[in-house]
Amino acid sequence: MSGDNRYRAFISYSHADQAWARRLHRALETYRVPTRLVGQATRKGDVPRRLTPIFRDRDDLSASGDLSASVRDALARSGTLIVICSPAAADSRWVNEEIRVFRELNPGGDVLAAILSGEPDAISAGRPAGRECFPPNMRAPDGLVAEPVAADFRRSGDGWRMALLKLVAGLIDVRLDQLIQRDLQRRQRRVTVITGAAIALSLTMSTLTFFAISARSEAERRKAEAEDLIEFMLSDLRAKLEPVGRLDVLDAVGEKVIAYYDERDPRQMSSDDLGRRARAFHLLGEIDSDEGDLESAYRHFNTAYEATSRILAVDPSSPARIYEHAQSAFWAGYFAWRRSDLDTAEARFIEYRDLSRQLLADEPENLEWQAEAAYAHSNLGTVYIGHERLRDAQREFRQALELFQSIADESPDSEAALIDLADAWGWMAYVAEPLDGRGAAMEALRQQIRIYDEQLGGGADNWTIRRDTMTAEYALARLHIAEGRGASRADIEAALQILIPASHEADALVAHDPANLQWRLVVIRQRLWLSDAQLLAGDLDAAREAYLDASAYMTHPSWISAEGDVFDDTRLHASLMEARILAGLGDVDAASLALQHLLSELEQIDDWRNRLSKGTYLYAAVSNTLAELLDQQGEDREAARVREAMVNRLTPVIARVPADTRAEYDRARAVLQRERISAE
């Protein structure tokens, strides 16, 4: 470590990973470098005996009133940045900002990735975005993780010990194989001792528990010893057992912890007792979640929630207790949401929101509390969308938007804050379209695009921002032509002015990452809306060219095997454009046949709740296009039947559909009304 760096490394992590960060911090600072390597000259200076000091904000920050200044100072004086990578970290604006600032202050410094959970490059691989573990700023302009060292702490990866050695090798700049042999010798000596000690500790806990219950004269002393032992078992002992592969002992420890607390009356526990209980079950929930046992994780997080609720009841004004229970409420709500239990998710997210607002009321200028409250409002908004309560969702998204705007105003150079703000405008556009009409939705999208273009520079060095910018732009173009054949010439031209230049960016996006399924989806949709706009403009050749581009992008193996409503709807949209182009070329019979097949497939949808955004539009547009061709063929009665069926199917959900669906629906009703008047 160079002389001007006080810290050998800075650990950046999400608050959700705090317990794990503490464990890693302890493991690194207590690691003893093999004697034969100490003093060896490397790029980072002479190899030290110990890897101290390592900065972790909860332990190392002074009582400075300026948290940002303290963090920047620590980053400036750290030789290496270790990023604990998880889905929570990938979504954390603070982690992302710390990566950016470290690179700014230490251009030659190393950034090491410590993968805790989730999946690296999940988005690029077309898997759910919620599984992505790399924060955006971990990536270089080409979209790949910029640093070569990634220590994978997951069981499916390197495992704890090998990943730890990878980090140590990166910190002191030595080859990994120089550490492995020495470490194996240490582990062989320790495994017997640790296993025996673990069994002895487990037996000791049983004995202490017995005395805590039956020997009243020593109850308090025994209880304190048992609680200390529990905390040791769930923290330090876990750190020792995982590397030597004795998780069976850890499972037994977990069972004894649960049995111990089942014997206790929560009403007789102190706040400290309940706090230890909450931490114990929260840790067990994290272990279960990492291992993929979501049901068990859900139960343990709910137990932690119950514990922190009792603590808060005893000390309702303590910010630490409020924050602790807010986090419990979030995790309980999050796992309820993952289990599609929207009622429980709503109740917990409301609690999370209200507690976050309570923290914010006490410290209105605290940016961390502002962010907590903003995320809480946004999370609740997504639950309300699932409940189809769009006005409630709009209210929550508006609150989130105001808070994100405040954070961005205070941190004008923060890319993460601006991305949060742009995303908030996107949610506002989503709910405004069915509630307030396309004009309100278009204004929200313009605000989102303005942030991307003017404040984030169009994401010139960030492919994710470029993708999000294109998504917002084609959404705006879609609204310009939402009236379909009723769209004005000005609206059609405005859509083309957006979509034609976007084609070049779309091609660059796919060329940059051909296997990224979500990016390919954005590009295909852009081309399909361009085809639609060109048809409305009367340029059949250009419409056909855009459709053929979309079709070519759909031949990629990743797209062919993609499953889900969003991909099905996009394939149906492509088929609709093909039928419209066939009709424009004069092949009415082929177009009618294609539309009949499409309509038959769309009529099989029993529940529109998950298909309101795109499915309803396709159903309405296919129905109207087919009805118009039937009118041309003189089959007026069949055309009327198709329109009536569509109107009847969509009437129950029409208040929640997007603008283009509403326009098609209104067009069909207007034709039916004219026919009824004519018949009368």
Residues of the chain with CATH 3.40.50.10140: 9-174
CB atoms within 10 A of CB 74: 19
The predicted-structure confidence for 479-502, as pLDDT tens digits, reads as follows: 999 999 899 999 999 999 999 998
User: Is the pLDDT confidence value at 553 over 70?
Assistant: yes
Residue range 306-320, pLDDT digits in tens: 888 888 888 888 888
Mean predicted confidence (pLDDT) in 638-651: 95
In this predicted structure, the answer to whether residue 233 has a pLDDT above a threshold of 80 is no
Continuous H helices in 513-603: 517-536, 540-553, 557-560, 565-584, 588-602
Confidence band of 535 (pLDDT split at 50, 70, 90): very high
pLDDT at 623: 95
Residue 625 has pLDDT above 70, yes or no: yes
How much is the pLDDT for 663?
Answer: 94
pLDDT tens-digit series, residues 380-416: 999 998 888 999 999 999 999 999 999 999 988 888 8
Architecture of domain 9-174: 3-Layer(aba) Sandwich (3.40)
Predicted pLDDT at 154: 85
606 token code pair? 């029993």
Tokens of 531: 């085809």
218, pLDDT greater than 70:
no
- Among 136-145, 462-471, 607-616, the least confident range: 136-145
Residue 323 to residue 455: CA distance in whole angstroms: 32
How confident is residue 247, by pLDDT bands cut at 50, 70 and 90? very low
- Average pLDDT along the chain: 83
pLDDT at 531: 96
**What pLDDT does 207 receive?**
59
pLDDT in tens, 333-352: 988 888 888 999 999 999 99
Check residue 645 and give its pLDDT: 95
Q: For residue 249, how far is the Cα from the chain centroid?
A: 33
Give the Cα-Cα-Cα angle 343, 348, 350 (nearest 5 degrees): 95
- 47 vs 9: CA distance, rounded Å: 14
How far apart CA 236 and CA 11 sit, in angstroms, is 19
More confident residue, 190 or 570: 570
- Percent of the chain predicted with pLDDT > 70: 80
Output the pTM of the full model: 0.64
Structure tokens at 214: 């039956």
- Give me the sign of the Cα torsion angle 37, 39, 40, 42: positive
Write the secondary structure of 194-249 as one string of H (helix), E (strand) and C (coil): HHHHHHHHHHHHHHHHHHHHHCHHHHHHHHHHHHHHHHHHHCHHHHHHCCCCCHHH
pLDDT of residue 64: 42
**Which pLDDT score, from 0 to 100, does residue 60 have?**
44
Give pLDDT tens digits for 451-461.
998 888 766 67
pLDDT tens digits, one per residue of 29-74: 888 888 888 888 888 888 898 888 898 865 444 444 344 677 888 8
- Specify the 3-state DSSP secondary structure of 51: coil
